[in-house]
Amino acid sequence: MIYLDFAAATPVHPKVLETMLPYFSENFYNPSAPYLPAKHLRGEYEAKKSALAQTIGAKSPDLVITAGATESINLAFTVLENYPDAEALILATEHASVRESARHYAKTVGEISVDQTGLIDLKDLAAKITKKTVLISVAIANNELGTIQPLSEIAEIIREIREQRLAAGNLTPLYLHSDASQAASLLDLSVARLGVDLLTLNSAKVYGPKGIGALYISRGVKLSPISYGGGQEMGLRSGTENVPLLMGFAEASVRAKSHISASRKKYEKFNQLFRQILTEKSFVTPKFLGNKKHQLANFCPACFDGLDAERLIFKLEDRGILLSTGAACAASKGQKSHVLSAIGLTDSEITGSLRVTFGELNTEEQIREAASVIAEVANQEAKRIGLVSDEVVLKESHDTELGQENPTASSPDQGVTHE
Amino acid sequence: MNSDIAKPKTVFVGMSGGVDSSVTAVLLKNAGYHVVGVYMKNWSKDLPGMKCPWAEDLADAKRVATKLDIDFRIFDFETEYHAKVVDYMIEEFRKGNTPNPDVMCNQEIKFKLFYDIAMSQGADFIATGHYAVSEDGNLKLATDTNKDQTYFLYRISDEAILRTLFPLGKMLKPEVKQLAAEFGLDNAYKKESMGVCFVGEVGIKDFLQEYIEVTPGQIIDRDTGEALGTHEGAVFYTIGQRHGLNLGGGLPYYVVGKDMAKNLVYVSKNLNHLNLWTKTLKLKDVMIRQIHQESGDIQPNLSKLTCRVRHRAPLISCTFNPETNEVTLNEEIKHPAAGQSVVFYDGDICIGGGIIAE
């Protein structure tokens, strides 16, 4: 089995699992309980939370622990509750959790456009900020393309606008939130350097457990609680601390941070190899999506224009290769990716787009094999629907095996199905 | 099956992602047909407490089609399904009847709309995973008597019968399941879709509440005239129904009548109540097909028929009078609800049927 969907989920690292285990049944106390073992547990929890905060150059009280990135994002958007007329600006390629939170909390939502590589249009950002804009949300790295946004430049633009507002006597705040779910294994997320006011972290994408995340909240940013009760997490998210998951989350984050440069090198090599083999062996030349200069090293989104990526995925699962079209949650609803629409792909290109994301389980051997098999399966499909002639197939199929085909199954009217 | 290898016939297979339609597609492909898989998107709305699984079903159907290396298309029938099936269903319930949406879906959507579009896109045949037999232009009982689905198919047109393949009609369900496993269809053990998805999962009551404004009304004992309690809306009750009346202990009450205008439900403890049992049924919208033979078409013998009053019910001997639209049964049965169908058979040939008028 070759797993190439690390942007959707990562396996819990054995070391992370080991770290968590004692906190399920041995050291299970409620950290708020009055006796000594619970007090010790509180100490361990806080120490680990501090370690987690340090990975982004923050302090423990700056973090609210949540049940995952979606909840962190929802919490971040509660900042709008204090401003009834507030407008939110989000990047056109944001994840559904940002889009839906914005729609729920903001009176109006504007979208900042991106270029064909998914990179933010900074001029459009500056133009779209109005007097009522309170929150701007830009993921540091997109979950379908891996495109990395220039957050510090965005923060700079925001800083200028804040100064203008002050000078004009406009006291409406302007905050920057970033969803860093995909990024923690490969990018430095120091909040000071990024210039963010709110930052969403996700355990499930850094080889930590699912069901836990965090929101970094810069001092002075006022949010509203998303649950009420015992007042945990500064009263913003009441509920007994999930000690084992936090232990795992922090362990995974610290580990990911220490591996950033090694991981980047490894995935850059994988990526180059993968693109080279896939391009060489495919009859339909793949178009690689995203911004090559500013892209997470483990992302390799590719488009076979004219093919149906879903069919490729079903065929590849038979060959032991697991990958995805766009975001898993959008795909399961049968919707076309808004991310791929935003970068200007045609419907046919969107239908032909795969998302390949590498991770710690992969070896160079796997990357070679996966690229060859994907090319082989893409070639079979191209032949089935008559995108390439039999002669091309015969000429070029020196080292690829083609499956048995029904020669009648390639009449010209059988194009790719469009939903 | 067709053996003209030079030019294989094209068959459009309705694929739902379930075992039956998946095996149907495999069998046709192996028999040499040029197979096109089609997912009919009839309904996608979530209802309270139930997520409509259409996207998963679609992915399952497409997965099977991909593994078979066949073309796959999506026909979007949501608008038509709503107009022809859902609206009909709601209207019938409003009138106090208990309609059968599957009969209507086959008549209007699968064997009309799907059929027409498939033909216009070059199909020689359509096929579905129904357990029924299409032979010499006749619709016949399936070999697996426990699975036979002709009850739901009796209203489809002669033309559609002639050009429909039912590859499962002469197979037993366990054989189909075994084939699914042999073909490596990993959805072989997925639960079967039972009729209309939303009705099965969520229950007709929750469904109706979304579409019909219901007001509580009185439950009246037909034998004493006494008001026994309150019901949640007369549309929810079916004649002959025993459950769900919340009338406390003792012998069970049965629904024996409804007054839709006054929103009243009549009940009785008397199992022998006149309204509960019957030997005759009055039909409407009757549709009788001729029997096709090599020597020519003949009329079915309406004085010597069998019929079925619900899916899987035993066949009962009966006669049908086309003048009065009355069925006379050989034995007394519990009165089926108005809106349900009576389906007629001459031997193993399904010759049509009608809808119970009252």
pLDDT digits (tens, 9 = 90+) for B137-150: 999 999 999 999 99
Name the pLDDT band for A382 (thresholds 50, 70, 90).
Answer: very high
- What pLDDT digit, counting tens, does each position of B349-358 carry? 999 999 999 7
Q: Please give the mean pLDDT across all residues of chain B.
A: 87
Residue in the block written with tokens 């995925």: A313
B20, B165: one domain = yes
Range B333-358 average pLDDT: 93
| Phi-psi category of residue A118: left, alpha or beta, with phi > 0 → left and psi -120 to 50 → alpha | left
Contacts of A315 in chain B (CB under 8 A): 66-67
Shortest distance, CA A402 to any CA of chain B (angstroms): 13
In this predicted structure, the answer to whether residue A416 has a pLDDT above a threshold of 50 is: no
B53 interfaces chain A, CB cutoff of 8 Å: no
pLDDT of residue B191: 56
Residues A2 and A222 sit within 8 Å (Cβ to Cβ): no
Angle at A321 (CA atoms; ends A146, A302), nearest 5 degrees:
35
Name the pLDDT band for A203 (thresholds 50, 70, 90).
Answer: very high
Task: Indicate whether B1 belongs to any domain.
Answer: no
Structure tokens at A141: 């790295």
Write down the domain spans for chain A: 14-258, 260-410
Task: Indicate whether B284 belongs to any domain.
Answer: yes
Single out the residue of B284, B283, B5, B201 nearest to residue A407, CA to CA.
B5
B68, B23: one domain = yes
Task: Name the residue among B56, B70, B74 with its Cβ closest to that of A419.
Answer: B74
Q: What is the dihedral angle through the alpha carbons of A211, A212, A217, A221, rounded to the nearest 10 degrees? A: 30
pLDDT of residue B193: 53
Residues A88 and A137 sit within 8 Å (Cβ to Cβ): yes
A406 interfaces chain B, CB cutoff of 8 Å: yes
Give the domain CATH number at B258: 2.30.30.280
Shortest distance, CA A327 to any CA of chain B (angstroms): 15
Task: Indicate whether B204 belongs to any domain.
Answer: no
β-strand partners of B12: B36, B126
What is the percent of chain B where pLDDT is above 90? 54
Contacts of B73 in chain A (CB under 8 A): 417
Shortest distance, CA A373 to any CA of chain B (angstroms): 15
Helices B54-67, A309-318: axis angle to 10 degrees equals 70
Count of CB atoms situated within 10 Å of the CB of A369:
16
B275/B338 Cα distance (integer angstroms)? 12
A399/A127 Cα distance (integer angstroms)? 53
Single out the residue of B216, B207, B336 nearest to residue B264, CA to CA.
B216
Give the domain CATH number at B304: 2.40.30.10
Range A390-395 average pLDDT: 60
Are the beta carbons of A406 and B69 separated by less than 8 Å?
A: yes
Are the beta carbons of B67 and A419 separated by less than 8 Å?
A: no
B165, B284: one domain = no
Backbone φ and ψ of A184, nearest 5°: -60, -25
Q: Please give the mean pLDDT across all residues of chain A.
A: 91
pLDDT of residue A404: 41
B285, B320: one domain = yes
- What pLDDT digit, counting tens, does each position of A240-296 carry? 999 999 999 999 999 999 999 999 999 999 999 999 999 999 999 999 999 999 999
In this predicted structure, the answer to whether residue B199 has a pLDDT above a threshold of 80 is: no
Count of CB atoms situated within 10 Å of the CB of B188:
18
What is the percent of chain A where pLDDT is above 70? 90
Structure tokens at B339: 């809106």
B56 interfaces chain A, CB cutoff of 8 Å: yes
User: Chains A, B: CB contacts under 8 A, how many?
Assistant: 43
Backbone φ and ψ of B227, nearest 5°: -80, 120
B217, B340: one domain = no
B44, B105: one domain = yes
Cα–Cα distance list, B290 to B143, B299, B300 (Å): 22, 5, 6
Are the beta carbons of B71 and A409 separated by less than 8 Å?
A: yes
Which of B221, B237, B268 is where one domain is finished? B268
Cα–Cα distance list, B311 to B89, B103, B152, B286 (Å): 18, 11, 7, 18
Contacts of B39 in chain A (CB under 8 A): none
**Looking at the whole model, is its pTM more than 0.90?**
no
A177/A174 Cα distance (integer angstroms)? 10
Which of B168, B197, B226 is where one domain is finished? B197
Q: DSSP letters of B294-345? A: TTEEE---TTSEEEESSTTPPPEEEEEETTTTEEEEEEEEEPPPBTBEEEEE
Shortest distance, CA B195 to any CA of chain A (angstroms): 22
What is the percent of chain A where pLDDT is above 90? 87
A320 interfaces chain B, CB cutoff of 8 Å: no
Are the beta carbons of B69 and A405 separated by less than 8 Å?
A: yes
Which of B169, B197, B225 is where one domain is finished? B197
B17, B129: one domain = yes
B258, B289: one domain = no
B249, B345: one domain = no
Domain A14-258 CATH assignment equals 3.40.190.10: no
**DSSP 3-state of A223:** coil
In this predicted structure, the answer to whether residue A401 has a pLDDT above a threshold of 50 is: no
Range B326-331 average pLDDT: 95
**Higher model confidence: residue B129 or residue B58?**
B129
Identified catalytic residue from A17, A38, A254, A329: A329
Shortest distance, CA A33 to any CA of chain B (angstroms): 38
Q: How far is CA A140 from the centre of its chain?
A: 9
Contacts of B54 in chain A (CB under 8 A): 334
Single out the residue of B220, B204, B217 nearest to residue B260, CA to CA.
B217
Structure tokens at B15: 């694929």
β-strand partners of B75: B40
Task: Indicate whether B202 belongs to any domain.
Answer: no
pLDDT of residue B194: 46
Task: Indicate whether B2 belongs to any domain.
Answer: no
B321, B351: one domain = yes
Q: Structurally, what CATH architecture does the domain formed by A260-410 represent?
A: Alpha-Beta Complex (3.90)
Contacts of B72 in chain A (CB under 8 A): 311, 417
Lowest mean per-residue pLDDT among A305-309, A333-337, B288-292, B324-328: A333-337
Contacts of B62 in chain A (CB under 8 A): 310-311, 314
pLDDT of residue A406: 41
Task: Name the residue among A333, A334, A414 with its Cβ closest to that of B71.
Answer: A414
Task: Indicate whether B155 belongs to any domain.
Answer: yes
Domain extent at residue B219: 213-268
β-strand partners of A5: A357
Are the beta carbons of A314 and B67 separated by less than 8 Å?
A: yes
Q: What's at A91, amino acid-wise?
A: L
A399 interfaces chain B, CB cutoff of 8 Å: no
B9 interfaces chain A, CB cutoff of 8 Å: no
Contacts of A332 in chain B (CB under 8 A): 55-56, 59
B286, B351: one domain = yes
Task: Indicate whether B101 belongs to any domain.
Answer: yes
Interface of B with A in 59-88 (CB under 8 A): 59, 62-63, 66-67, 69-74
Among chain A residues, the shortest Cα distance to B71 is held by A414
A156/A304 Cα distance (integer angstroms)? 38
B82, B17: one domain = yes
Name the pLDDT band for B244 (thresholds 50, 70, 90).
Answer: low
Task: Indicate whether B203 belongs to any domain.
Answer: no
In this predicted structure, the answer to whether residue B243 has a pLDDT above a threshold of 70 is: no
Number of domains in chain B: 3
Structure tokens at B42: 């009839």
pLDDT of residue A365: 98
- What pLDDT digit, counting tens, does each position of A301-356 carry? 999 999 999 999 999 999 999 999 865 544 445 578 899 999 999 999 999 999 99
